[in-house]
Amino acid sequence: MSVYLDYAATTPLRKEVFDCYVEHLQTLGNPSSVHSSGQLVRQALEEARESLAKSVDCNRSEVIFTAGGTESVNLAIKGLFWQRVGEDSKRKVIISAATEHHASLDPMEWLEKHDGAEILWLPVDRDGVIDLDFLEDYLQEHHENVAFVNLMWANNETGVITDINRVTAMTKPCGIPVHSDSIATFGHIPISFSSSGLSAMSVSAHKIGGPVGAGALIVSRSTKLVSIIHGGGQERGMRSGTMNAPVAKAFAVAAELAVSELAEEHLRLEALRDKLVQGVKNITPLAHHTAAKSPRMPHNAHFTFDGCSGDSLLFLLDQQGVCVSVGSACQAGVNGPSHVLLAMGRTEREANGCIRMTLGKQSTEADVDAFLSALPKALDGALRAGLTT
């Protein structure tokens, strides 16, 4: 049986979630229909909305169900930009960081190319920490030109956590909305939408034991954005289309379980991660723990290895039944160094030699031991192959 250390890519569907999903798949009715069958499905949908709202600590009306994290991020970025420019044509600056997931980078760059957006990339240090002093100084001088700020709560590759509350404390006096891709964060560390100061926050189900194809954009009641999907006007007019009640219910169950177990799992996974990190350091001096000095997620261990390719390490570990990644699963198979590490000031050689191990609910000490046992042989083979760039 394979040892799975890629929970940041996706997670196993939990039994409770599967059972809930199957149960509600068998209920006939469109939640927008006014007859009893439709209203029964509508009730399930609104129960899911209420449950998810409790898990993220927001008002139920602020939950907008989507088909996944990428859709949520796109709706936030495009919707906020079009809304802000429509209200004030000079607000064309989007503030973000080059370490963001491509779900954010690509729509921002699309807006830059097609709709005249101007992107300000905040500096990032070698430990993956965003320079928020730079942000504060910029806002003092240029806040009237800013459309919104877009920053991940935690980086999906390195696990580095950003101080979102400090970001919103800076932007609030300027009336600038902030969206955070919180997909790598939700269900792993405590987060509260209501106390975060955020205008919008994206979350996803399959990172926390829920089904693929389920996500949500949390939008504060005071925030307006232009929809990118037009039709029946569902979900506060922000996301038209027949609402998927079975998926919403399954997402809500996964979120409830993840949040209820969060404190215990945080400590358990942090201990496993620390064992893995120390084990790698003991095996080879060629390994460098990325962002070791930064605040980071408890289940993420990210390394660069001198003199070899991360892709080689991945495939050689996989041959021994150990699944890891070299970064975002969305970029798997795309040749080239990690854009996150390049933004952190690493060379292309360094950014080509990284692997990421992420732990989850089913992870055990035996999994960590198996990885550490497999690493020397994989590293030897990867060093023989060398770097491809």
Q: Which DSSP string corresponds to 320-343?
A: TTEE-BSS-GGGTT--S--HHHHH
Tokens of 163: 């101080």
Sheet holding 354-358, edge to edge: 287-289, 300-305, 354-358
148-165 residue pLDDT tens: 999 999 999 999 999 999
Check: CB of residue 316 under 8 Å from CB of residue 355: no
Q: Crossing angle for the helix pair 245-260 and 15-25, nearest 10 degrees?
A: 160
Tell me the three state secondary structure of residue 218: strand
Looking up tokens 């049986």 gives 1
CB atoms under 10 Å from CB of 355, counted, come to 27
291 Cβ neighbours under 8 A, 6+ residues apart:
127, 128, 129, 158, 159, 160, 302, 344
Question: What pLDDT score was predicted for residue 328?
Answer: 58
Ranges of the chain whose pLDDT falls below 50: 331-332, 389
What distance in Å separates the CA atoms of residue 169 and residue 164, rounded to the nearest whole number? 9
330 given a catalytic annotation: yes
Q: Which ranges of 115-157 would DSSP assign to H, the alpha helix?
A: 132-142
Question: What pLDDT score was predicted for residue 157?
Answer: 97
Among residues 174, 308, 323, 330, which one is catalytic?
A: 330
Which domains does the chain carry? 3-11+261-385 (3.90.1150.10), 15-260 (3.40.640.10)
What distance in Å separates the CA atoms of residue 184 and residue 164, rounded to the nearest whole number? 14
pTM of the model: 0.95
What distance in Å separates the CA atoms of residue 3 and residue 11, rounded to the nearest whole number? 13
Question: What pLDDT score was predicted for residue 388?
Answer: 53
Question: What pLDDT score was predicted for residue 386?
Answer: 76
24-49 residue pLDDT tens: 999 999 999 999 999 999 999 999 99
